[in-house]
Amino acid sequence: MRCPFCGHEDSQVKDSRPTDDGAAIRRRRQCEGCAARFTTFERIQLRELTVLKSDGRRQPFERDKLLRSLAIAARKRPVEPARLEKLVSGIQRQLETAGEGEVTAHRIGELVMAGLKTLDPVAYIRFASVYRDFSEAKDFEAFAGEVAGE
């Protein structure tokens, strides 16, 4: 494992433990070159996923990109990062076990919407505003009315 501080090729694992949700192994490492410590995560990947965008482009699925989007939607909300991490793990596992190597961005968006709906209503509306491309205040109002009426 290359050191993120000095670029040295070798590091020593000092501690390994599963994450809270059991979906990854957290490894604490120490660089043999500069003695800096850093953490890595090791996850099971069942298959390579490719995201088919609405404009026809194809991109590799990026777990971190999805997690960043959720973190932005949940910013300043009482949602623990571990719950967002668990939501992303669940979505990724659903996509990997579906048996398809290619998944549409729309499918990912719908899974995120379903997960956020149960997690936090404000984060749900924030994500929906970008995902559904709200352009006017009345779009927010209509969607928030639907959420409040459920």
All structural domains of the chain with their residue ranges: 1-44, 45-149
**Statement: residue 106 has pLDDT above 80:** yes
Confidence of residue 38 (pLDDT cuts 50, 70, 90): very high
CA-to-CA separations, 24 to 20, 28, 45, 105, 150, in angstroms, rounded: 9, 13, 10, 25, 35
pTM for this one?
A: 0.67
> Which parts of 3-105 are beta strand (E)?
11-18, 24-31, 37-43, 50-52, 58-60, 102-104
- For the record, the structure tokens of 127 come out as 């994500």
d(CA 101, CA 48): 6
Minimal CA–CA distance to 8: which of 38, 33, 28, 35? 33
Q: Please report the pLDDT score of residue 19 as a whole number.
A: 80
- What is the mean predicted confidence (pLDDT) over 100-123? 90
Residue-wise pLDDT for 45-92, tens only, equals: 666 889 999 899 999 999 899 999 999 999 999 999 889 988 998 899
First vs last C-alpha separation in the chain: 49
- What is the mean predicted confidence (pLDDT) over 110-135? 86
